[in-house]
Structure 1
Amino acid sequence: MSDAATPPGTSSNAGTSAEHPWPVRTVARKIADWIHRLGAVWVEGQLTQISARSGNQTAFLTLRDPSADVSMTVTCPTRLLRSVEPPLREGASVVLHAKPTFFLGRGTLSLRANEIRAVGIGELLARIERLRKLLAAEGMFAAERKRKLPFLPRGIGLITGRASAAERDVLVNVKARWPAAALTVLNTAVQGAQAVPQIRTALSTLDADPGIDVIVIARGGGSVEDLLPFSDEALCRAVAAAGTPVVSAIGHEPDTPLLDHVADLRCSTPTDAGKRVVPDVKEESERVRQLRDRARRALHGWVDTQARLLEQLRSRPALADPLGPVQRRADEVALHLERGRRAMLGKLGNEQTALAAVRDRLTSLGPSATLARGYAVVQYSDESGNLRVLRSVSEVAAGTPLRVRVADGVTHATVTDGYEEGT
């Protein structure tokens, strides 16, 4: 074998090659020699299988790590297995003292136990308490990380034992409260060595389903050992990491596995879970009816209030007789218009009278009135051709054309005689 394949504590043999390989028996013997040099160890785990046939001096056990998918075969004398009190059964937690053993014939590794101790209830409870404190310190029990369940989930996932009372309680109560609820049931082991891996697989399946809005993990009551899977650290962490709200309905009211603290909602019993995940259709129908009645009364009250307000507005003078103010304003406008017309006519009459008086005075004082009494205005043209009033006979000579204006018109004359004083 090469150095890379040589177990610790053994020396490599440079003589092995493709042309000179070791036989299987040699390799098996060397592996056995190396393993047999290992000392005995104390191992803790959960028994998943016990095979102790009558007449057989050797009992075969399967020891599983409850927090990981790892198991080993354990052999022990049958008398040693039967000497343990209380008698061991599958799913029991044990601590055993064993030495690794390699069987050449089958090439398998197992543990040879010479002492087996069942883990007592007190020790189990102490371990659960230590795990409780650890998870609480990590904040997995904090109220702020818990999610609120939907009012009416589209789909409900149920993880429980096959044909169990817990399954029946959940289904009956859910269907009684909301007949149209859609449930997906995955049956798993709810106690024993296979409970935790099966529940985790079912949880992963339902959590990946987009049609599931809430997951219920339910189991009936039982002893502390029966409920141990629901205080398993791996299961608690899986529930905390789930994206879908999880409801824990394990056992009865006094039973409080760690799953109750990690889940988003803890129900005292599976029956209580059936009542908490869906509303009661009768209660909701009654609530809808009450709300409808309240809405109807509120609407009627509002309509009545608005009707009274409109009636009050209509009874006001401005709306009771909307044309009255307009008519009154029209009458006022007509009155002022008549007053203005009379004032204007009076003013015009006064002005006309004054104008007539002024005109009469002007007429009496003007040249036209003088001309009407027999006088005339005689004009002549000067050297520039402008008309000038004749004021003296000396201003014109014989033959000068004259313009004579009398009351009813103008006539022309010519000077024929010269100046005569006194005529």
Structure 2
Amino acid sequence: MSSAEARGGAAPPTAEAPWPVRTVSRKIADWIHRLGAVWVEGQVTQISARPGNQTAFITLRDPAADVSMTVTCPSRLLRACEPPLRDGASVVVHARPTFYLGRGTLSLRADEIRPVGIGELLARIERLRKLLAAEGLFAPERKRPLPFLPRGVGLITGRASAAEHDVLVNAQARWPAVAFRVLNTAVQGANAVPQILRALSTLDADPDVDVIVMARGGGSVEDLLPFSDETLCRAVAAAGTPIVSAIGHEPDSPLLDLVADRRCSTPTDAGKTVVPDVAEETARVHQLRDRARRALHGWVDTQCRLLEQVRSRPSLADPLGPVERRAAEIETNRERGRRAVLTTLGHEQAALTSARARLATLGPSATLERGYAVVQYTDAEGHSRVLRSVSEVAEGTQLRVRVTDGAVRAIVAPPG
């Protein structure tokens, strides 16, 4: 053992006394080997088992993250698996972490491999379904309506797949001007979820994409397993763009169908859902135009009838007639008023003449004309009074005698 290695085992390394690589590797290996065996679950992405080799190599990937590890195991373990392992299969491995000093790599040394059966997969999907439902990710009120005519449609599907063909052909048949942005990803296996997540993030950030379609043809439960992945379901729920799920056929129901804003039974149905039918919309426009035309004509006819009724009224049909009739009535009433005034004046003049005649007959002037006279004297207070008795005056009292044509003065003389 060298002095440097001896120092490495005795004290922590320093810049003046560093550890050699082999010492660091051995210490890491010692620490890892003390971890003991663990149970690990993942998806098989690569199997390397050459004939004649006693050791097989498997790459095990986390389905929800871009993390993988190498697993080594005896070849007999792979041959004993029923059904045989294939890429994309979910397995549970009992293994011990191992650090290889020569390459400085970490791997798992497996002594037992258990394929995850269909029953276990369905049970896990059901547990996840209940969890997501309890969080409200399936609630109808959180689902967003699809745009009537999207500016652009994002499509996530397998490369050159029948699902891609069905969506594009049916959408373009209904609305030839529809614009698609297609991102091809793996739709099954261990690489499916990470690739779909990246494609979803890209399309969700595109301002020209108003709706996103995830499409895949039918398959087994294992084939459709990525579309029941918890990470993918939560990403779909958090997306800002409405998402249409078109996975498999009518009987298939991955969890993505429940989280998406719209579920289509097939990719063909998705192509018919994301865009309207140009023929139907054209017919609807023609129908609405006909209805608007009929409504406008009906309204114009009604207004014309109302206008005709207004014009036929006497006040508008003969506007001068009422004025002329009123003018004639005014003239007649004025003449009647004039005659009434003249009649009243005549009656009043006759009454005045009669009153004057009666007054003249009964007045003193008429009496004076018949030879009578009115004798007046002045009393002690200086007031002029009519003499009614000889006892009212004394001798020498001056009298005023009024006759019909004037008055004379006289003095009272003693009787003789």
Match of 1:15 among 6, 11, 30: 11
Structure 1 residues 69 and 407: alpha-carbon distance in aligned structure 2, compared to 1, 3 A threshold: farther
User: Which residue of the partner structure matches residue 182 of structure 1?
Assistant: 179
Match of 1:142 among 131, 139, 142: 139
Residues in 1 aligned to 2:106 and 2:86: alpha-carbon distance in whole angstroms: 23
Match of 1:193 among 177, 190, 193: 190
Query: CA shift at 1:41, angstroms?
Result: 2.5
Query: CA shift at 1:143, angstroms?
Result: 2.9
User: Does structure 1 conserve the Cα–Cα contact (< 8 Å) formed by 2:395 and 2:414?
Assistant: no
User: Which residue of the partner structure matches residue 247 of structure 2?
Assistant: 250
User: Does structure 1 conserve the Cα–Cα contact (< 8 Å) formed by 2:62 and 2:190?
Assistant: no
**CA deviation profile, 1:149-188 (whole Å, cap 9, x unmatched):** 1222233221122333322322222222223323222222
Alignment pair present for 1:296 and 2:289: no
Residues in 1 aligned to 2:283 and 2:244: alpha-carbon distance in whole angstroms: 27
**CA deviation profile, 1:48-90 (whole Å, cap 9, x unmatched):** 2334456655433221121233322212234543554444332
Query: CA shift at 1:272, angstroms?
Result: 1.3
Query: CA shift at 1:216, angstroms?
Result: 0.6
User: Which residue of the partner structure matches residue 283 of structure 1?
Assistant: 280
Alignment pair present for 1:169 and 2:169: no
**Equivalent runs, 1:96-107 vs 2, <5 Å:** 96-107=93-104
Alignment pair present for 1:232 and 2:229: yes
Alignment pair present for 1:69 and 2:66: yes
Residues in 2 aligned to 1:17 and 1:112: alpha-carbon distance in whole angstroms: 31
Alignment pair present for 1:114 and 2:118: no
What's the TM-score, normalizing by structure 2? 0.82
Amino acid at match of 1:228: L
User: Which residue of the partner structure matches residue 219 of structure 1?
Assistant: 216
User: Which residue of the partner structure matches residue 356 of structure 1?
Assistant: 353
User: Which residue of the partner structure matches residue 5 of structure 2?
Assistant: none
SS of residue paired to 2:121: helix
Query: CA shift at 1:235, angstroms?
Result: 1.0
**Equivalent runs, 1:291-370 vs 2, <5 Å:** 291-315=288-312, 331-369=328-366
Alignment pair present for 1:40 and 2:33: no
Query: CA shift at 1:369, angstroms?
Result: 4.2
Residues in 1 aligned to 2:353 and 2:333: alpha-carbon distance in whole angstroms: 30
User: Does structure 1 conserve the Cα–Cα contact (< 8 Å) formed by 2:63 and 2:191?
Assistant: no
SS of residue paired to 2:252: coil
Structure 1 residues 395 and 190: alpha-carbon distance in aligned structure 2, compared to 1, 3 A threshold: same
Residues in 2 aligned to 1:212 and 1:22: alpha-carbon distance in whole angstroms: 56
User: Which residue of the partner structure matches residue 89 of structure 2?
Assistant: 92
User: Which residue of the partner structure matches residue 7 of structure 1?
Assistant: none
**CA deviation profile, 1:252-287 (whole Å, cap 9, x unmatched):** 333322212221111122221111011111111110
Structure 1 residues 395 and 367: alpha-carbon distance in aligned structure 2, compared to 1, 3 A threshold: farther
User: Does structure 1 conserve the Cα–Cα contact (< 8 Å) formed by 2:228 and 2:255?
Assistant: yes
Residues in 2 aligned to 1:224 and 1:370: alpha-carbon distance in whole angstroms: 151
Structure 1 residues 396 and 367: alpha-carbon distance in aligned structure 2, compared to 1, 3 A threshold: farther
Residues in 2 aligned to 1:17 and 1:131: alpha-carbon distance in whole angstroms: 49
Gaps of 5+ in 2: 1-7
**CA deviation profile, 1:304-333 (whole Å, cap 9, x unmatched):** 234334444555556655665565555555
Taking only aligned residues, the RMSD between alpha carbons, in angstroms, comes to 3.5
Match of 2:21 among 16, 24, 35: 24
Amino acid at match of 2:12: T
**CA deviation profile, 1:372-394 (whole Å, cap 9, x unmatched):** 667777878889887777999x8
SS of residue paired to 1:237: helix
User: Does structure 1 conserve the Cα–Cα contact (< 8 Å) formed by 2:56 and 2:75?
Assistant: yes
Structure 1 residues 390 and 198: alpha-carbon distance in aligned structure 2, compared to 1, 3 A threshold: same
Give the percent of matched residue pairs that are identical in Structure 1 and Structure 2.
Answer: 77
Query: CA shift at 1:26, angstroms?
Result: 2.7
User: Does structure 1 conserve the Cα–Cα contact (< 8 Å) formed by 2:48 and 2:57?
Assistant: yes
User: Which residue of the partner structure matches residue 157 of structure 2?
Assistant: 160
SS of residue paired to 1:102: strand
Alignment pair present for 1:132 and 2:129: yes
In the alignment of these two chains, the number of paired residues is 405
Amino acid at match of 1:227: L
Amino acid at match of 2:91: V
SS of residue paired to 1:199: helix
Structure 1 residues 88 and 418: alpha-carbon distance in aligned structure 2, compared to 1, 3 A threshold: closer
Residues in 1 aligned to 2:172 and 2:189: alpha-carbon distance in whole angstroms: 30
Residues in 1 aligned to 2:87 and 2:395: alpha-carbon distance in whole angstroms: 172
